[in-house]
Structure 1
Amino acid sequence: MKQLLSMTVTDPALADNPLLIPSDLPYGLPDFAAIRDEHFVPAFRHAVALHREELEAIAADSAEPTFENTFLALERSGQLRRWVEMVFYTLVPADGTEARQQIHEELEPVRSAHEDAIYLNERLFARLSAVDRTALTGEDARLAEVVLQEFILRGAGLDAPAKARLEQINERLAVLGAQYNRRMVAENAARAVLITDPAQLAGLSDSDRAAAADAAAEAGHDDGHLLTLSMFTSQPWLEQLEDRDTRQRVHEAAWVRGTEPGEHYVLDIAAEQAALRAEKAGLLGYPTWADYALQDRTAPDLPAVQDLLGRLVPAAAANARRERERLEQLAGHPIQPWDWPYYSAQVEREDYAVDAGALRPYFELDRTLTQGVFAAATALYGITFRERTDLAGYHPDVRVWEVFDADGTGLGLFLGDFYTRPTKSGGAWMNPIRERSTELDERPVVVNNLNIPHPPAGEPTLLTLDQVTTLFHEFGHALHGLLAEARYATLSGTSVPRDFVEFPSQVNEMWIQWPQIVQAYARHVDTGEPLDPAALESLQAASLWGEGFSTTEYLGAAVLDLAWHALRPGETVADPLAFEAEQLTAAGLDPQLVAPRYRSSYFKHIFSGGYAAGYYSYIWSEVMDADTVQWFQENGGLTRENGDRFRTELLARGNTRDPMESYRAFRGRDPEPQPLLVRRGLA
């Protein structure tokens, strides 16, 4: 890291702060063992002050503005701030202790104010705008294009009063986002369901019972089993629990999270965020936040997104109604939301001979990871993996692998943090600690986070098929970072438009049931016997079952996201729960048929995760994903030739050129929606 290596700290109080000392570990891996919570605030404030000095030097330069003394100088600046941020924002969602959540709330306004100091700096913007860009090519041209667009979207062209109000809004939004996250994590833990009668756990596997008992003990209960909640509305436990009252308790605990007044109430925060975003969009010249947010996406405009969702909703809801009819036929009574997963699993067993519980012994974590996820990457891209037990992550659960290219050169590090804990946000995600940048002499260090319950001590970790899918999906994001080839960190890896970033990860899911891969990793944990090919055929036959439910619950969340962000300046939502119900109904969705995947009270993606007016991205990306899967199938599937093409034209490119240009270079044309409609049963 060129900028960090030249940095010196003159303040004695900061001299021993490990965040201000370049890491000498491989690939610049942070020395997590030396970093303590009290290091973050002084390191961040120092890094911000240093960055402001660098920005002032660029803005005050009397020389004629050139690419080198403006855009390149800006790209090189702020590397210490970037380092501190990437370490801290790796820890907050993965191990967000109360102390770190408080630090988060303290630093978010500082970070927001500093970003405003960058993007609202008139002299800096004037110098960037004055650069003659006509002769720029390649990454230089792309960097200039992306940076100028970012300045404009951040308000660089506003007058002084508008800038002042924008700074106030940004600071308040930063505070609200941190508050939403803290309350949401605490509420999710508080709503976990304690079961004291073992009979109410009928249907749970022995390993899940043991995990629930461990969770209860860890939470301080003297006895019982604690059913912790995922961030989704529909909880994984519902698929197994035979007792209908217990299923209802679990569902209702998840459904009401954050909606009841008290210390964990978040709907007031959500409503204020939406109103402030609408006002901000108006200041910047857009009718709604959704219109504003789509300016740097691959989707052309809001009507195009609304058209896609509008075409999918009626067909998905009709599929869901047909599925409910089959479930009610099986159950013999009306189906409630807490019944759906349980009876859907029965349909899979009875109609398709798929028993999700019986599959779990074939999906042991280590084998699925090494012989499945890693093996597919090796077959496609020639990369190999070696676990580095000598390197430590930020938590004892974290494992570290060094990744090598086909010629043996080191590519970077992959960190796997697979297990749930009370301080971890729900869901799964990838984030970079380092990004590929030849300009900064930096190689990637990427982290995958999942939320798999810890097995009892000494027992293997057995995955559900959904968890296997998540493992492959998140590693697709990791590959996007690990295989990046970029000069500039700003354009590297996953730094692509929000509605493109999910595309590579969705493509990586196709290898889950690819014959040579599944035969290697899907082996019984005790006997080593491979999964019966008939079971694979059953899985493939059942692939369309449940698409009505899954598509409808996803679309419910996407509709809610756009509804919150279609408010116009001055509009407010006085009753968030009524607003939520009205918007779903207006879109043709029925929460009593299928509840949305997230409610406004636990929708981290949009209120604390950067996806505001962007949750549609998953289905938008899936159009490209399904079209790409069709290409792989038509061209021989899992081969180095195919992998190298995908790597060269897409994964390596990041945002170094327009991502849709990269897609066309790979596919030979624009994406077509028909493969997605077939996959989802909507054709």
Structure 2
Amino acid sequence: MTTENPFFSASTLPYELPPFADLREEHYLPAFEAGMAQQLAEVAAIAADPEPPTFENTIEALERSGAVLARVSLVFFNQSASDTTPGVQQIEAGISPRLAAHRDAIHLDPALFARVDALYAQREELRLDAESDYLLARYHARFVRAGARLGEAEQARMRELNGELATLETQFEQNVFADTRAAALILDSADELAGLSADAIAAAEENGRALGHDGKFVISLKNFSNQTELAGLDDPTVRRRLLTASLGRGTESNGGLAVRMATLRAERAALLGFASHAAYEVADQTAGTTAAVDEMLGRLVGPAVANARREAAALAAEAGVDAIEAADWQYWSEKVRKARFDFDGSVMRPYLELEAVLRDGAFFAAGQVYGIGFTERPDLVAYHPDARVFEVSDADGTPIGLFIGDFHARESKRGGAWMNELVKQSHLLGQLPVVVNNLNIAKPPAGDPVLLTWDEVTTLFHEFGHALHGLFSDVRYPLVSGPEVPRDFVEYPSQVNEMWADWPLVLGNYAKHHVTGEPMPAELVARMKEAANFGEGFRTVEYLAATLLDWAWHTLPAGTDPGDAQAFEAAALERYQVAMDEIPPRYRTGYFGHIFSGGFYAAGYYGYIWSEVLDADTVEWFKGNGKTVRESGEIFRRELLAKGGSTDAMAAFAAFRGRAPEIAPLLVRRGLVA
């Protein structure tokens, strides 16, 4: 690794921020190849060590291995999501199966596993500290779940399955990216956008210009089904065109891929002794069993559908029709909110300007709850001009890490909102965290304010919660740093952080008219909260339909032929009793990237509502524990956020909360009890 390549050595920038000014696309592939070769050599040395295995010469050595590969992977996959190019997509398509093979080469190395297995067998005699003991257990589970105990023929098949799945998952993601852009709604005149706010119309015109459609108005699609503009568009024909475009993505390009991936995942689970991919995945989550997930979802479906049907009747009555259509639901829902609660969501937008929401909202709340501060660092270059770098410091001035905010939509960014890490916190490696938040807020014409919807405000606070989870990590080992927690636990800290969006002190600090500076009227806030429960039926059914669709794909036993993807989807929704023509699933199979692009949420989309049980219970604790917000924040940070994945997740919750979680607060929040 003597070739000039910024990935070959640790960055000398503050907090080891990647040297983006020096990085080029041509650096990626050589760094991946050199990084894999380096780590395989390091792993071979660990496996061949003539000394008996110890925690230091085996587990800790594994934690130190692969530095170059870690650096390039974190940067590359952030760019592939945030600012892709045809070249990046080509690299991703080629490198994904090679990375899968690389992971298999490590996890299926018999000599290496023998050392890990021997250490695990003598855990009690080793008398490790709690974090090291838990890390050893995680390593052992990772090897076993990867197939380390399988026979030679089964391991060979495992390698084939992982390689093909990596290829298919990348292809699925790239198809969604292409289909979503191709399906953007192009309109000829502003009249067709009647009902949207003036700034939203201006943003659509600016989007048209940016995409090469000068003089036209373009609505680019978000990654979910029900596009936010449906709530405002007066023209029913335009609403139908928009929803049809949204629901049709991936129908042709991804249906067959989804079938193939579900089949391969089921086969892989069977090789490892599990009845389904869902059983395999959930065994390593806080839920533990598919029965536990079934029980929770079963409690929610009936009340949610009943609630949604009541909402549908109210919408139909307001619209003067026998039954409401899917494309009209959000539009008439806004009408009912206005009629019943004298609340119009669009009236909030002038009070929700992005910079104020960020600095006087999310940053201010973090200061009030945790005592931390943010200083923008324009001298530090991020990966795109839209991405801004902030240094984060503790109450006593101690450096915590860097936060990068990348809030605007662009043609090169995938849809949705997410958090990435560019540097993982680790005392072992002497690293502080560098974390990224990505949103997809439409960029207005230059000089115009960026006004948000309330949903976008909530999303910003949500993703910032993920960022805080990474920033507050205080662990020794990178494998358990920050959000490296069970998948059905990872959304919990981010969902808790949403509570500060409408906390009176915080809301009053940022919700001010972008022209006059007047605070948002108290009665508007009160009406918003009063109206909040209307629509919970829709939101819960929309979410549950996607969750149960994921569950249907991944509870298939090995050898089952799902058949046609669309037919399978329709049958699954009927079987789980969440099929409502008026409420499409939040994600349909063809663009359900959570479960088919990389598979992080495969058989795990239930984790959002599983985590929300913990979240709702925690919000009640913040409100009623008798402590100040600052005192409560310190407890939550110390007992939960700082732990990362270094301890059992539910044990961490119990230590913080003083008991196991209760579901009642969630049922009340979702309007599923009287």
TM-score range, shorter chain: over 0.9
Q: What secondary structure sits across from 2:251 in the alignment?
A: coil
Paired residue type of 2:283: Q
Counterpart-to-counterpart distance in 1, 2:49 and 2:561: 45
The reply on whether 1:542 has 2:534 as its aligned counterpart is no
2:35 match: 47
Report if aligned partners of 2:622, 2:629 keep a CA contact under 8 Å in 1: no
Which residue does 2:609 correspond to in 1? 619
Residue by residue over 1:487-524, the C-alpha shift from the partner in whole angstroms, topping out at 9 and shown as x without a partner, is: 00111110000000000000001111111110000000
CA contact (8 A) 2:329 2:582 kept: no
1:308 aligns with 2:296: yes
Q: What residue number does 1:652 align with?
A: 642
User: Which residues of 2 match residues 507-518 of structure 1 at below 5 A?
Assistant: 507-518=496-507
Is 1:194 the counterpart of 2:186? The answer is: yes
SS of the residue corresponding to residue 512 of structure 1 reads helix
One-letter amino acid of the counterpart of residue 294, structure 1? V
The residue aligned with 2:475 is 486
User: Is 1:150 aligned to residue 109 of structure 2?
Assistant: no
The equivalent residue for 1:435 is 424
- Corresponding residue number in structure 2 for 1:458: 447
Q: What residue is the counterpart of 2:151 in the other structure?
A: 159
Q: Please tell me the residue identity of whatever aligns with 1:384.
A: G
Separation in structure 1 between the aligned mates of residue 650 and residue 660 of structure 2, nearest angstrom: 8
Give 2:401's match in structure 1, choosing from 412, 424, 445. Answer: 412
Aligned equivalents of 2:44, 2:196: Cα separation in 1: 61
- Say whether residues 1:248 and 2:248 are aligned partners: no
* Match of residue 322 from structure 1: 310
Answer yes or no: is the 8 Å Cα contact 2:9–2:68 preserved in 1: no
Change in Cα spacing, 1:203 to 1:495, as seen in structure 2 (3 Å) is same
Paired with 2:431 and 2:338, the residues of 1 have a C-alpha distance of 50
Residue pair 2:184, 2:220 contacting (<8 A) in 1 also: yes
Q: Is the 8 A contact 2:190 2:201 kept in 1?
A: no
SS at match of 2:382: coil
- Asked if 1:67 corresponds to 2:63, the answer is no
Aligned length: 667
CA distance in structure 2 between the partners assigned to 1:227 and 1:435 by the alignment: 36
Superposition pairs for residues 253-652 of structure 1, below 5 Å?
253-260=245-252, 265-333=253-321, 334-609=323-598, 610-636=600-626, 639-652=629-642
Task: Decide whether the 8 Å contact of 1:321 with 1:593 is kept in 2.
Answer: no
Aligned residue number for residue 32 of structure 1: 20
Residue in 2 aligned with 1:3? none
**Structure 1 residue aligned with 2:663, among 670, 673, 678?**
673
Matched letter for residue 192 of structure 2: Q
User: Aligned partners of 2:220, 2:200: CA distance in 1, in Å?
Assistant: 11
Compute the displacement of 1:592 (Å): 0.3
- 1:664 maps onto 2:651 in alignment: no
Q: For 2:178 and 2:628, how far apart are their aligned partners in 1?
A: 43
Question: SS of 1:298's equivalent?
Answer: coil
CA positional deviation for 1:203 = 0.9
Distance 2:34 2:235 in 1: 56
**Alpha-carbon contact 1:313-1:589 (below 8 Å) kept:** yes
Q: Any idea what SS the aligned residue of 2:391 has?
A: strand
In the alignment, the residues of structure 2 paired with residue 545 and residue 373 of structure 1 have an alpha-carbon distance, to the nearest angstrom, of 26
Offset at residue 314 of structure 1 (A): 0.9
| Contact kept in structure 2, 1:380 and 1:638, CA below 8 Å | no
SS in 1 for 2:407: strand
**SS class of match (1:96):** coil
Q: Distance in 1 between matches of 2:8 and 2:183?
A: 39
Mapped to 2, the partners of 1:577 and 1:494 lie a distance apart of 34
Contact preservation (8 Å) 2:240, 2:327:
yes
* Alpha carbons 1:379, 1:638 under 8 Å: kept: no
Report how far residue 670 of structure 1 moved. 0.1
The Cα shift of 1:636 comes to 4.7
In the alignment, structure 1 residue 129 sits paired with structure 2 residue 117: yes
**C-alpha displacement of 1:279:** 0.5
Match of residue 239 from structure 1: 231
Separation of aligned partners in 2, 1:227 and 1:637: 46
Q: Deviation digits for residues 553-603 of structure 1, max 9, x if unmatched?
A: 000000000100011111122211010000001101123031100000000
Range 61-70 or range 493-502, more displaced: 61-70
How many angstroms apart in 2 are the aligned matches of 1:622 and 1:22?
38
> Secondary structure in 1 aligned to 2:643?
coil
What is the RMSD computed on CA atoms of the aligned residues?
1.0
Shift of 1:137: 2.6
Q: Aligned AA for 2:133? A: A
Runs (5+) with no aligned partner, structure 1: 1-8
Deviation, structure 1 residue 198 = 2.9
* SS of alignment partner, residue 652 of structure 1: helix
Q: Quick check: 1:385–1:402 contact (8 Å CA) kept in 2? A: yes
More divergent stretch after superposition (112-121 vs 194-203) = 194-203
| Distance of 2:186 and 2:522 partners within structure 1 | 39
1:300 CA drift (Å): 2.1
Does the CA contact (< 8 Å) of 1:650 and 1:662 recur in 2? yes
C-alpha contact (below 8 Å) 1:417/1:449 kept by paired residues: yes
Letter of the 1:47 partner, please give it: G
SS of the residue 1:446 aligns to = strand
TM-score (norm 1): 0.97
Identify the match of residue 171 of structure 2 among 171, 176, 179.
Answer: 179
Cα distance in 1 between the residues matched to 2:277 and 2:447:
50
How far 1:220 moved relative to its partner? 1.9
Q: Is 1:216 aligned to residue 205 of structure 2?
A: no
Contact 1:23-1:30 within 8 A present in 2 as well = yes
Contact 2:185/2:219, CA 8 A, preserved across alignment: yes
Q: 1:115 aligns with which of 103, 125, 130?
A: 103
Separation (CA, whole Å) in 2 of partners of 1:177 and 1:368 = 35
Hey, which bits of structure 1, 4+ residues long, moved more than 4 A? none
Deviations 1:255-288 (A, max 9, x none): 111113xxxx111111111100000001111010
C-alpha separation in 1, matches of 2:404 and 2:337: 35
1:651 and 1:628 map into 2 onto residues whose CA distance is 13
> Post-superposition shift, 1:534?
0.9
Q: CA deviation at 1:223?
A: 2.9
Which SS does the other structure have where 1:338 is aligned? helix
- Residue 218 (structure 1) shift: 2.1
* Matched letter for residue 507 of structure 1: V
Instruction: Report if the CA contact (8 A) 1:584-1:590 is conserved.
Output: yes
Counterpart amino acid of residue 660 in structure 1:
M
Per-residue deviation, 1:199: 2.1
Cα displacement (A) at 1:638: 5.9
Matched AA of 1:210: A
Alpha-carbon distance in 1 for matches of 2:414, 2:207: 16
Between the two proteins, what is the percent identity of the paired residues?
49
